[in-house]
Structure 1
Amino acid sequence: MMMMLRSLSRPLERCLGVRAGGDALMWHADLKPHASGDFSIAVVQANNCLEDQSQVFASPFATYVGVYDGHGGPEASRFVNKHLFPFLHKFATEQGGLSADVIKKAFNATEEEFLRLVKRSLPVRPQIASVGSCCLVGAISNDVLYVANLGDSRAVLGRKASGDKENTVVAERLSTDHNVGVEEVRKEVEELHPDDSHIVVYTRGVWRIKGIIQVSRSIGDVYLKKPEFYRDPIFQQFGNPVPLKRPVITAEPSILIRKLKPQDQFLIFASDGLWEQLSDEAAVNIVFKNPRAVSIRVLPLT
C-alpha cells in the first residue's frame, strides 16, 4: 500500500477528506487535492482479505495521512483507521495544536481502546488477541511535518538536489523501521531483555521476536504485551502460548518533526511491501521522473 503527497509548499486551494480501503486485488486513485497540495493512493492486495488500510483527512489547518499494515487479520488496521484520527483531532484541539505529546496521546488512546475491544471479544473470538497493525502517520500543519511510526512501514521525502544536480531528486527517510531484521532494532530489543537470551531468534529465513513476529512496535498483538492474554485458557486453546516475563513489543511511536523547505517536492508513505521491492532512492526517482498520476500506476506494491 502506498500514499503519495506532492507539492508540499503549495498554498491552500480546497480541502477534501478521503478514506481508502476495500477488497479489490489492485486499485489506485489518481491525484486529488489536499490542504497542502495533491495526493494519490495505490494498493495491491496480497491476502484473500485485505488487512491494510489507509486514509487522508484534510482540514483548513492540517493534512493527516495514515497507512496501517495489518497482520493476523484485518481487525486492528480497521480499528486504527476508524479511531486514530479522531483522537488526534481531539487532543490537538484540547492542547491548541499538534505536538509530539498530542501524537503520543492519540496512539496510546487507540491502543487502549483496541485492548478494550480485545477483552470484550476474547470469549467468542480468541484469535483477536494475536491481531495487530503497523501504524504510519504523517501530518502537515503550518508548514511543519510530523511523522509518527510503529512497525516497518516507511515515510520517504523527495527533495530537489542543490547546485549542479538541481534536476535530480534526493531521498530522505523520515521514519524508523521497527523490524528486528535491522541490526540496531535487534540490539535495542535484546538490551531491553538482558535476561532472555532467546528474545530474538532467526527462524524461517528472518529474525523474529520470540520466533513469532518481526516488528517490535505495533497497535494490538496484545498477547505479546499483556500476560493475562497469553495465559488465558481460551487463548491457549486457539494457539501456542508464549511464556513471557514482560511485554516484548510496544505501542510507543517514534516521532520526527521537520520544518518543510522550498526544495521539498513530495512524500511517499508506504507499507513494507513497497520497500521490499524498491530502495528509497528508486521510489523517489520513479515519482520524480513520471509526472503526476502516471507515477502511481507503475509502482509494484504488495
Structure 2
Amino acid sequence: MFSWLARIAAACWRPVRWYARMSKDEDDDDALLWSRDLGRHSAGEYSFAVVQANELLEDHSQVETGSSATFVGVYDGHGGPEASRFISDHLFLHLMRLARENGTISEDVVRNAFSATEDGFLAHVRRTCQIKPLIAAIGSCCLVGVIWRGTLYIANLGDSRAVIGCLGRSNNIVAEQLTRDHNASMEEVRQELRSLHPDDSHIVVLKHGVWRIKGIIQVSRSIGDAYLKRPEFSIDPSVPRFRLPEPLRRPVLTAEPSICTRVLRPQDKFLIFASDGLWEHLTNQEAVEIVHSCPRAGIAKRLVRRALQEAARKREMRYADLKKVEKGIRRFFHDDMTVVVVFIDHELLGSNAAIPELSVRGFVDAVGPSEFSVLDGI
C-alpha cells in the first residue's frame, strides 16, 4: 500500500521538477493518445481520437461507414474493459441483424439491439462468474448514433454525451445536447430513482460529496453491472467496494436507453460524440466553438488535447508535464476520453456516394470490412 501511495505522490510532484527543464516539447505526441485525423462517411467526414488514462483502457469505440449509412459507438466502461469490449463486438451486429429482419432502421430496432447486447453480456457473466466473480460488477455506458436516409438516431445509456453544432440566426454556432446524462449527480435522475424506489432510503446516497446509487455507482443506466440488476449475480459481501446495504430486491440500474430521432436540417453542421472524460473539462458550447473555428483534419484530437490542457491547468501543471505521467497513475488527473466528430455535408445526404464499407475501432487502430452491406436491399 505504501509503495502505491508513493507512486501517486511522485506523479503529483514530478511535474514540478519537469517544469524547470521542459523547453519545447509542447508539440510532441502524447504516447497515450491515438487518433485518425479525417475519414469519409456517407454524409461527409469524421475525425476520431482516444486518450488512455487507466492501466487498461476502459473506453471502446467504433465508426462504421457504408454507402447509405453511418454508425458511431462510444462505450465508456467501468470496473474493467470487458463490458465495453463486448458491446463493441456485438451491438452493431445486432443492429444490422434486426434492421435486415425488420426491413428498416427505427427507434424500436435500435432499442432491441441494446436489449440483445445486454442479454448477451449477462449470459456471458453467468457463464464466467464462477471463475471471475467480479465480472458481475463490470459495466459500460453506451452511446450510439446512426445516420440513415437523412435521419439521425441517437441512443444512450449512462453519461457519455452527443452534442450537435447548429448555425444560429446570426451565423453563430450553437450547441444542442441530444442526450440526457443518466448520472446521480443530476437532480432529475435522483428524483427519478426515488420515485421508482419509494421504499428504499439508500437508493441514492451522498458519499464523500458525490451522489451515488446505493452508495456505489454514479450512472443509473448501463450495459452490465449485473449485481445491481439481478440477485443471482450478488457479490460476496466481503468485498467492501460492492457491498450493498441490504440484499437486492429489484433492479436499481436499467439497460433501457434514452432514444431520440432527428431529421437532419440544413443548419445542423456536425455532431460530437464523446465519453464523459471530455465533458468533465469542456462545456458543450466550448466544444462546438472549437470544432466550428478550426480545420476539420485532426479536430477530434484537438478537442482531446484542449480537455487535457484544462485537466493539467486544474492541477497547476502543463499538458507537456501531464503527458509524462504513466497510464494508471494518470487516472488521478483525467479519465479515458473518446471523441468522434461527424461532419454533415448536406449535399451528400441520400446521394449513395461511393464510400467504402469500413469498421474502424478506436485506439486499437483496427480497420476491417463493415457489415453495412445488409442495408443495401432495404
Counting aligned pairs with the same residue, the percent is: 59
- 1:249 pairs with one of 241, 250, 253: 253
Residue type matched to 2:291 in 1? Answer: V
Residue type matched to 1:195 in 2? Answer: D
- Confirm or deny that 1:156 pairs with 2:175: no
How far 1:61 moved relative to its partner?
2.4
| Helix, strand or coil at the partner of 1:213 | coil
- 1:293 pairs with one of 293, 297, 304: 297
Q: Between Structure 1 and Structure 2, how many residues are aligned?
A: 273
Q: How far apart, in 2, do the equivalents of 1:189 and 1:204 lie? A: 20
- Listed one character per residue, the Cα deviations across residues 15-54 of structure 1 (whole Å, up to 9, x for unaligned) are xxxxxxxxx6212110100111111111111101000011
- Confirm or deny that 1:117 pairs with 2:121: no
Q: How far apart, in 1, do the equivalents of 2:243 and 2:211 lie? A: 20
Q: Which runs of 5+ in 2 are unaligned?
A: 1-30, 309-336, 338-378
For the 8 Å contact 1:126–1:238, the answer to whether it is kept is no
| Helix, strand or coil at the partner of 1:159 | strand
Q: How far apart, in 1, do the equivalents of 2:297 and 2:59 lie? A: 22
For the 8 Å contact 2:158–2:219, the answer to whether it is kept is yes
Tell me what 2:371 maps to.
Answer: none
- 1:40 pairs with one of 35, 42, 47: 47
- TM-score of the aligned structures, taking structure 2 as reference length: 0.70
How far 1:209 moved relative to its partner?
0.1
Tell me what 1:4 maps to.
Answer: none
- Confirm or deny that 1:55 pairs with 2:62: yes
Q: How does 1:1-302 map to 2 (within 5 A)?
A: 25-162=32-169, 165-166=170-171, 168-230=172-234, 235-236=236-237, 240-242=242-244, 243-299=247-303, 300=307, 302=337
- Listed one character per residue, the Cα deviations across residues 108-133 of structure 1 (whole Å, up to 9, x for unaligned) are 00000001100111111111000000
Q: How far apart, in 1, do the equivalents of 2:75 and 2:81 lie? A: 10
Q: How far apart, in 2, do the equivalents of 1:81 and 1:291 lie? A: 29
Question: Larger relative CO (CA 8 A, sep 6+): 1 or 2?
Answer: 2
Choose between structure 1 and 2: higher helix proportion.
2
Q: How far apart, in 2, do the equivalents of 1:259 and 1:25 lie? A: 37
Residue type matched to 2:106 in 1? Answer: S
For the 8 Å contact 2:36–2:298, the answer to whether it is kept is no
For the 8 Å contact 2:37–2:299, the answer to whether it is kept is no
For the 8 Å contact 1:127–1:238, the answer to whether it is kept is no
Residue type matched to 2:228 in 1? Answer: L
Q: How far apart, in 2, do the equivalents of 1:57 and 1:290 lie? A: 25
Residue type matched to 1:287 in 2? Answer: V
Q: Which runs of 5+ in 1 are unaligned?
A: 1-23
How far 1:295 moved relative to its partner?
2.8
How far 1:236 moved relative to its partner?
4.4
| Helix, strand or coil at the partner of 2:270 | strand
| Helix, strand or coil at the partner of 1:66 | strand
How far 1:241 moved relative to its partner?
3.8
How far 1:298 moved relative to its partner?
2.5
Choose between structure 1 and 2: higher strand proportion.
1
Q: Computing the radius of gyration over CA atoms, which structure comes out larger, 1 or 2? A: 2
| Helix, strand or coil at the partner of 2:190 | helix
For the 8 Å contact 2:222–2:253, the answer to whether it is kept is yes
How far 1:297 moved relative to its partner?
2.9
Q: Superposition RMSD on alpha carbons, in Å?
A: 1.3
Q: Runs (4+) of structure 1 moved beyond 3 Å?
A: 235-241
Q: How far apart, in 1, do the equivalents of 2:185 and 2:127 lie? A: 34
Residue type matched to 2:52 in 1? Answer: Q
Q: How far apart, in 2, do the equivalents of 1:147 and 1:84 lie? A: 14
For the 8 Å contact 2:38–2:298, the answer to whether it is kept is no
Residue type matched to 2:233 in 1? Answer: F
Tell me what 1:19 maps to.
Answer: none
Aligned CA distance change for structure 1 residues 294 and 241 (closer, same or farther; 3 Å)? closer
